[in-house]
Amino acid sequence: MEVLIAIFVIGTGLLTVYSMFILSSTIIGRSHRTNQAYLVANRAIEQLRAQPFSSLANGVTTETVPELPSASLTRTISSYNSDSNLKQIDISVIWQDKGQPKNIDIVSLATPRGINN
């Protein structure tokens, strides 16, 4: 009888530990994908920082993101408050995580002297 109780207690403990490993693995994976999305968005901002202000044409471009499965990056450049010396840059990374849509958005302003976050 004592052996059966010990097996039950040990089994319950091992099952709890196994559940914690599964949960932590899921959380780490989700965190990794979110971090990748932030890195992709920041890289897109840095690429725009390297360009001269005159080359920042208004418009929307969308591309796939190889670092994240089923993800897309959208760059939107528009005039800010009808001011020709100020442009708003919106970077959006959208991906699927366990069937749920997730996104990261970064908004920045560009002036002829450079981009300000």
Looking at residue 90, the DSSP 8-state letter turns out to be E
Q: Which one has a higher pLDDT value, 107 or 113? A: 107
pTM (2 decimals)?
0.75
Lookup: tokens for 19: 């559940």
- CA–CA separation, 115 vs 92, rounded Å? 17
What are the residue ranges spanned by the domains of the chain?
Answer: 2-116
- CA–CA separation, 117 vs 100, rounded Å? 29
pLDDT digits (tens, 9 = 90+) for 58-98: 999 999 988 888 899 999 999 888 767 888 899 999 998 88
